[in-house]
Structure 1
Amino acid sequence: MLSLTLEAQLEGVTALQPTDTEENPYYYTFRVSCTSCHETHPNWVSFNRFETHEIPGSRGEANFVWKCRLCTKTHSASILNAPKAYEAQEKRNSQKIIEMDCRGLEFVEFKPDGDWEAKAVESTTTFSGIDLLEGEWYDYDEKKGEEVSIKELTWKFQPLNPRPFLQAHVGTEVLIRLKWGQTEYKGKLESIDSYMNVLLRDTEEFIDGKPTGSLGLVLIRCNNILWMGSADSVEMTDLELK
């Protein structure tokens, strides 16, 4: 899981956010990298949080489904919630804009392509159609009689703490993929410890998507896990786990 954060200098405006509604969705634009082969795709990719696509070989859906051209594996990502507004502050610091559930991929660069909006700090003026592609924006608040601006933008990706996700899924069936060998484990999440090691019960092992047998109670160290998710969102086949 990743969060996209923003650090910026706001003068005279606050509540900066992408214009993102179901009637007028914002298309988030990224460069994407495969976590299996570490290939970074040279082209920009765009998707919105309202449109979903089927994940091949799965009952699940995602906002973005991508097949790595080097290792040919299919990965996915979804935006978890509506964007959060960046608020003006005396001292600059990073604030979270969106959170994303990334499976088998990660985003390495963001381009603020599309319209943004903000509100004046000391008047009722609302600014829309803000273009941040140049890295700065200037306008004039006629009600206040002052210039307003947005500048010094810095975009970063931060990993999200997976503990709330794991705690919420204790007692449910999950699927875990290891970092090597095309090995997956499917079982009931029994518990997690303070080091994020995972204990599964009634565990089944799959290699290259093919079942190899039941293992019962299994402890998996966190540094061996590539990704994990609810077993309800994927489908095992005797050909491949997508």
Structure 2
Amino acid sequence: MYALTLTAELNGVTSLRPKDTEATPFWYTFTVQCTSCRETHPNAVSVSRFETNELSGSRGEANFVWKCKNCKRESSASIKIAPKPYELSEPPKQQTVIEFDCRGLEFTSFSPEGEWLAEGAESGTKFEGIELQEGEWFDYDEKANDEFMPVNPRPMLQDLVNKDIVVRLKWGETEYKGRLVSIDGYFNIQLTNAQEYIDQKFTSDLGQILIRCNNVLWIKRADEKGDVAMEG
């Protein structure tokens, strides 16, 4: 048996799972390797639990059938049950999403292509059309008492470049006020003319600083109310 496991940091959502029904099947995309000669298929392969292929010699059917070009051995994989939702846990735990009965092959890596679903942990809001190819997903739950779930910060941060902002850290009642110079691909933040405030009291002038995204609780324009939560 081959188990596809997932470890995810969920904030405000639970029951993360592939959208996998007979009407809208999910195609699980892997690289595959022959267990006999260790030859790896040059292209990614996709497996659906609602599609079957015949095994040679009238040996039945499997969801995926592959003949290794190197050793000519035929191998197969089948999905026995529907995927299990990944449930919110703190700290995040590795959980099995789906299992495959593999004969003569093994899957060596997984690409989360396709549509995923989730639900608001408190509100029950249904989230559809989730894409995980880039390893992260952000959205906003309007039913959760206007509390922020992770929101994609890129458009907001790009609009704030060359403007004065306030950055609140996750601990110590610490805030930084300054002019946003730039952000990088990991949402790390560069400020100039930065000032440090602890518990809303000015502590020091810092000049130019770099703040790592995973230290940030929220960001806002210096002249505006509200904030945007950050996850990194």
TM-score range, shorter chain: 0.5 to 0.7
4+ residue runs of structure 1 moved beyond 6 angstroms?
A: none
TM-superposed CA distance for 1:149, in Å, is: 4.0
The aligned counterpart of 2:66 is 66
TM-superposition CA deviations, 1:84-129 (whole Å, max 9, x none): 0000011111000001100000000000000000000111311001
2:62 & 2:3 partners in 1: Cα distance?
Answer: 17
2:99 & 2:119 partners in 1: Cα distance?
Answer: 23
The aligned counterpart of 1:16 is 16
1:70 & 1:149 partners in 2: Cα distance?
Answer: 47
- 8 A Cα contact 1:68 1:74, kept in partner: yes
1:68 & 1:94 partners in 2: Cα distance?
Answer: 31
- Structure 1, unmatched stretches of 5+, are 151-242
RMSD: 1.2
TM-superposed CA distance for 1:59, in Å, is: 2.8
The aligned counterpart of 1:97 is 97
Identity %: 60
1:13 & 1:64 partners in 2: Cα distance?
Answer: 32
1:17 & 1:129 partners in 2: Cα distance?
Answer: 11
2:109 & 2:55 partners in 1: Cα distance?
Answer: 24
Paired residue total:
150
Aligned residue identity for 2:124: T
Q: What SS does the aligned partner of 1:146 have?
A: coil
1:46 & 1:4 partners in 2: Cα distance?
Answer: 14
Which structure: larger Rg?
2
2:93 & 2:99 partners in 1: Cα distance?
Answer: 18
Q: What SS does the aligned partner of 2:114 have?
A: coil
- 8 A Cα contact 1:67 1:73, kept in partner: yes
TM-score, structure 1 length as denominator?
0.60
TM-score, structure 2 length as denominator?
0.63
- Structure 2, unmatched stretches of 5+, are 152-232
Is structure 2 residue 53 aligned with structure 1 residue 53? yes
